[in-house]
Amino acid sequence: MTKRKVEVCFSPELIHLHELENKIVVVVDIFRATSTMIAALGNGVASITPVADLETCRAMQSEGYVIAGERNGQTAEGFMLGNSPLAYLDGAYANQKIAMTTTNGTLAIEKSKPGSKQVLIGAFVNLRATAYYLTSQNDDVLIHCAGWKGKFNLEDSLYAGALVSLLEENFEFDCDGAIAMKGLYESNKSDLAGFLAQASHAKRLQNHQIEADIDFCLSLDLFSIIGKLQGQELVAQVIETK
């Protein structure tokens, strides 16, 4: 198999600089959207429909969806469910269809669709499953960081470094971003939580007393599933990594 390529896009504002055609795009929003989506799918949720705007998401309640909405780290007005991964761990939403809108993550998913071969969601909680799946495919990979309101963020970029580090045996780096983040990850992987405690969104969540979510989002390989977009819905696919 010819060596495939992996590259990193640091923000949805930069996605136009990257070619999506025939690539697998892995969207990452560590604090918290993609971590929450994997936790939900890993606890039996039937599907998650990412929605860019609040109005559209609210309206989906009348179609039988459980709606989840977050803005600026807090539960959006008129929504019961915000964006905490902990809300799904007891299986309360098993077999339900979720419609979800968040500040950055759902927008990044939307911007990853045009032309891409597959869209996956990635998080530390299913890091190895995603790497294993990508290695089993025959396509180039683009890691798309959701960032914060168009800006670079530390946690998504560090995840990109972690994934690149697991892929390097079978993929070549097609951008300096991949090299830079691999280096940053490898020099901080022994204390991810300590390093990311200084991340701007971690501080924002701490201000909202949402520390438990941060700890969860930095847990490694809790789920052996990938989250994959099928049509407009994200669904789980179990990955046997042994």
Residues in touch with ligand MLT (CB under 6 A) = 29, 31-33, 70, 73, 83, 102-105, 146
- How far apart are CB 104 and ligand MLT at their closest, in Å? 3
**Contact between residue 50 and residue 111 where contact means Cβ atoms under 8 Å apart:** no
- Give the nearest distance from C-beta 152 to ligand MLT in angstroms: 13
Q: Which C-beta is closer to ligand MLT: that of 182 or that of 201? A: 201
Q: Which is nearer to ligand MLT, 7 or 29 (CB)?
A: 29
> Smallest distance, Å, CB 159 to ligand MLT?
13
Toward ligand MLT, which CB reaches closer, 6 or 27? 27
Angstrom CA distances, 189 to 112, 155, 218, stand at 28, 12, 11
Residue 40 beta carbon to ligand MLT: minimum distance, rounded to whole angstroms: 13
For 46-61, what is the HEC assignment? CEEEECCCHHHHHHHH
DSSP 8-state code for residue 232: T
Closest contact distance (angstroms) between CB of 29 and ligand MLT is 5
Closest to ligand MLT by CB, 80 vs 238, is 80
* H or E, element range at 4: strand 4-9
Instruction: Spell out the alpha helix ranges (H) of the chain.
Output: 33-41, 54-59, 105-110, 127-136, 154-167, 176-188, 192-196, 200-207, 211-217
Choose between 42 and 182: whose C-beta lies nearer to ligand MLT.
42
Nearest to 124 by CA among 41, 64, 39: 39
